[in-house]
Chain A
Amino acid sequence: MKLLTHNLLTSHVRGLRPGGGYPLGIQATEVKLSPVDFNAQFVARMVPKVQWAALLQAAQSLGHGSDLPPEPAPGYESDEDFLRRLHHVLLEVEVVEGILRCPDSGHEFPITKGIPNMLLAEEET
């Protein structure tokens, strides 16, 4: 699971208050770094889609938080250094084994071989 993905995921356990399922907490037992070709335009496109605070928190929990500024600075589209750091955090850091935890309910979604399993039993949806 890449951190870009984590930033877009939410828990949908039944009965949560609005926003109570986001962001999912990450508890990783295995993390891998996989090189991905850098594409500045794609990374720049992702900046507005990303919830920055959640990204920082997730990156920090995996030991990669120090690479990123507290906020994207104006003019980030042409700041290659910033875009490369963001590229690394969003696309190259992968959780291979671990758990995603719903903040409000505590429900755990397992990540196995890099693939999160987001299924819930009916009672929970």
Chain B
Amino acid sequence: MAGGRYLLLLAQEHLDFRLAEIKSLLSLCGGRFSNQQEIHVNSPFWILDISSEEMTRELMKRTVCAKSIFELWGHGKSAEELYTSLKNYPVERMLPYLQSDSTYKIGIHTFNKTLTQVEKIRKIDALEFLPFGGKVNLKKPEHVFWILEDYGMDPNNIPEDPLHLYFGRWIADGQRELIESYSVKRRHFIGNTSMDACLSFIMANHARVKANDVVFDPFVGTGGLLISAAHFGAYVYGTDIDYNTIHGLGKASRKNQKWRGPDENIRANLRQYGLEKYYLDALVSDASTPIWRKGMLFDAVITDPPYGIREATRRTGSQKEISKSTEKSTENHVFVSSNYHLSDIFFDLLKFSAEYLVMGGRLVYWLPIYRPEYTEEIIPQHPCLKLISNCEQMLSSHTSRRLLTMEKVKEFKDQDQYSHLLDSQYMPYKGHNSFRDKYFSGVTKRIAKEEDDNQK
């Protein structure tokens, strides 16, 4: 089916992540993000030019940011403009859906306002001039049409009339139901920092994961990011330096539960969702010293490295310290210790990705940010990787994390070629080594202030 103009209706959450998700998915489906009219990125309504209806369906099979997509038949800033726009829409494009032997329904969706049933019916009836030939069927119509009205972004100042109106034929819904079905609340195996389901799927989409890919997470924890990749048909590997987490041992992260049960590990998590066939392996390993033979082994690296706040940042070092969390496991497994500086984590991660990703493969990872000092310059770089997107999620008034997506655009040659770049030019993030201190300085100040206030 030929393409044209489509209206994408988005969910109003994770606003900063949506554009990157939709762009990544469109390119994954063989298209390009294209809009003749300006997109207001924070609005739930985006008008896009997409080259085929098939491509819109492919997009909707993946997106968790968008609720629905419609073939756009008309739009305008007032009801009159909408009707004029509809009268200008080529009749031959409408007719296939208005046949006398077909059934249909018209619904109305309003953003930032609630209409009464009477108002809704009046607005639908106003479209009588459209050449609908079929019968109305409210239960199981073959074709569903929608009027969508935008009453702006301010819930405290709702206009009498909509600021913008749209009319379109519904094509498909997105994958937002995955958010509930994969909810961490019901997952067998979780950790203190398990990623919420929606963000996990967003990450898999930013990474353009596709069926039969091999995806790797070097700080895998309980495997949440692998679950989303596996849902989209990728085969998955994870490593973590923490023996207990990989084996599913030790203290549980759930309130009211003391120890982890026997069915709590990454493999069991995949099994819970019927995705066990995508499990390749989990290994105990230090991300700073790769265990893989050289080669372009991975289609994507998707990870949430430790920030040093709720989980420790560690790497193998010379102090022999017995790990604290081993009450159930007697195996001595980690020679824990030397502080793995945050900037080293990202340097290693980018270097690893540059070397082990296939060409065009993506690295998607979180970077913790101390906001008062943030500038774009501190984003880690590597000569083989191109920055695709940078999306912020606020954590507190002075901290946030940014989801960075990088794509391998250049082959990795001799690593010595890059060792002189170890420093400042490519790794100005060094200043964030004390992220942990800065994070806690805010907390300590707040606690001190509360104590002061309580004493007054």
Contact = CB atoms under 8 A, between A and B. Distances in A.
Contacts, number: 84
Interface string B5-31: 000000000000000000000000000
A120 B331 CA distance: 14
A99 B295 CA distance: 24
B318 interface: yes
Size band of the interface chain A makes with B: 20 to 34
Closest CB pairs A-B (n = 7): A118-B285, A10-B293, A117-B284, A5-B281, A122-B318, A118-B291, A37-B277
A118 B316 contact: no
A121 interface: yes
Contacts of B331: 112
Given A119-B241, A122-B317, A2 B280 contact: yes
A10 B292 CA distance: 5
Contacts of A37: 277
Contact of A119 (B237, B277, B334): B334
Interface residues of B, number: 34
A45 interface: yes
Interface in A46-78: 49, 51
Given A112-B247, A119-B316, A120-B316, 17 more contacts: A5-B237, A5-B280, A8-B292, A9-B292, A10-B291, A10-B293, A36-B277, A42-B235, A51-B293, A112-B331, A116-B283, A117-B284, A118-B291, A119-B286, A122-B317, A122-B318, A125-B289
A112 B332 CA distance: 13
Interface in B278-304: 280-286, 289-293, 295, 297
B212 to A, nearest CB: 5
Interface in A2-25: 2, 4-5, 8-10, 12, 22
Interface string A35-47: 0110101100100
Interface of B: 211-212, 214, 235, 237, 239, 241, 243, 246-247, 277, 280-286, 289-293, 295, 297, 316-318, 320, 331, 333-335, 338
Contacts of B334: 119
Contacts of A42: 212, 235
A12 B291 contact: yes
Contact of A117 (B235, B237, B283): B283
Contacts of A112: 247, 331
18 contacts: A2-B281, A4-B280, A5-B237, A5-B283, A36-B277, A37-B277, A39-B277, A91-B280, A113-B247, A114-B281, A115-B246, A116-B281, A120-B316, A121-B316, A121-B335, A122-B317, A123-B318, A125-B286
Contacts of B235: 42
A51 B239 CA distance: 22
Contacts of A89: none
A83 interface: no
Contacts of B241: 119
Nearest to B283: A116
A25 to B, nearest CB: 15
Contact of B284 (A36, A49, A118): A118
A125 B297 contact: no
Given A42-B212, A125-B289, A117 B243 contact: yes
Interface of A: 1-2, 4-5, 8-10, 12, 22, 36-37, 39, 41-42, 45, 49, 51, 91, 112-123, 125
Given A36-B277, A41-B212, A42-B235, A9 B293 contact: yes
Nearest to A116: B283
Contacts of B333: 117, 119
Contact of A9 (B243, B246, B291, B335): B291
Contacts of A118: 239, 283-286, 291
B297 to A, nearest CB: 6
Given A41-B212, A122-B316, A12 B290 contact: yes
A60 B104 CA distance: 64
Given A8-B297, A9-B292, A12-B291, A122 B277 contact: no
A98 to B, nearest CB: 14
Given A39-B212, A123-B318, A115 B283 contact: yes
Contacts of A120: 286, 289, 316
Contacts of B317: 122
Contacts of B286: 118-120, 125
B274 to A, nearest CB: 10
B113 to A, nearest CB: 49
A73 B17 CA distance: 46
Contacts of A116: 281, 283-284
Contacts of B320: 121
